[in-house]
Amino acid sequence: MSARLLVCDADGRIYDRPDLALAGQVGDRWVPVTADDLVPVPEGTKVFFLPGSRAVGWDEGRGRPRTLKRVRAVAALLQAGYTRTHLPAAAYPKGTPPKRGCHDYLPLWAYAAVGWDGDRMVAAAFRSDPMTHSETHHYDDRQIAPRVEARVARHAGNRLVRHLARCALEYHCFAAKNWFMERWEAPLPAAPSCNARCVGCISLQPADCCPASQDRIGFVPTVDELCAVAVPHLERVPRGIVSFGQGCEGEPLTVANRLAEAVARFRDRTGKGTIHLNTNGSLPDALVRVARAGLDSVRISLNSARAETYDAYYRPRGYRFDDVVASVRAAVDAGLYTALNLLVFPGVNDRPEEVDALERLIGETGLHMVHLRNLSIDPALYLGHLPPRLRSGAGAIGLRNLAVRLKRRFPRLDLGYFNRPREAFGAPVVDALGWAREAAGKG
Chosen residue from 194, 242, 348, 362 binding ligand SF4 by CB under 6 A: 194
Hey, is 54 helix, strand or coil?
A: strand
Hey, is 363 helix, strand or coil?
A: helix
Q: Tell me the window of 28-36, 46-54, 190-198, 362-370 that interacts with ligand SF4 (CB under 6 A).
A: 190-198
In whole angstroms, the minimum distance from the beta carbon of 282 to ligand SF4 comes to 8
Task: Give 187's strand partners.
Answer: 243
Contact in structure between 33 and 23 (CB atoms under 8 Å): yes
Beta strands 4-8; 14-26: pairing state: antiparallel
In whole angstroms, the minimum distance from the beta carbon of 302 to ligand SF4 comes to 10
* Binding-site string for ligand SF4 from residue 360 to residue 379, where x marks contact by CB under 6 A and - marks none: --------------------
Q: Which amino acid would we find at residue 142?
A: R
Can residue 341 be called a binding residue for ligand SF4 (CB under 6 A)? no
Hey, is 295 helix, strand or coil?
A: coil
In whole angstroms, the minimum distance from the beta carbon of 255 to ligand SF4 comes to 13
Distance CA 418, CA 343 (A): 13
Contact in structure between 28 and 19 (CB atoms under 8 Å): no
Can residue 280 be called a binding residue for ligand SF4 (CB under 6 A)? yes
Q: Which is nearer to ligand SF4, 87 or 343 (by Cβ)?
A: 343
Hey, is 164 helix, strand or coil?
A: helix
Q: Which is nearer to ligand SF4, 201 or 237 (by Cβ)?
A: 201
Please, what is the angle between helix 284-294 and helix 321-333, to 10°?
20
Q: Which is nearer to ligand SF4, 26 or 287 (by Cβ)?
A: 287
Q: Tell me the window of 23-31, 191-199, 328-336, 366-374 that interacts with ligand SF4 (CB under 6 A).
A: 191-199
Can residue 274 be called a binding residue for ligand SF4 (CB under 6 A)? no
In whole angstroms, the minimum distance from the beta carbon of 249 to ligand SF4 comes to 7
Q: Count other Cβ atoms within 10 Å, centred on residue 421.
A: 21
Hey, is 180 helix, strand or coil?
A: helix
Under DSSP, the state recorded for 306 is S
In whole angstroms, the minimum distance from the beta carbon of 199 to ligand SF4 comes to 9
Q: Give how many residues touch ligand SF4 by CB under 6 A.
A: 10
Can residue 210 be called a binding residue for ligand SF4 (CB under 6 A)? no
**Which residues would be at the binding site for ligand SF4 (CB under 6 A)?**
194, 196-198, 201, 203-204, 250-251, 280
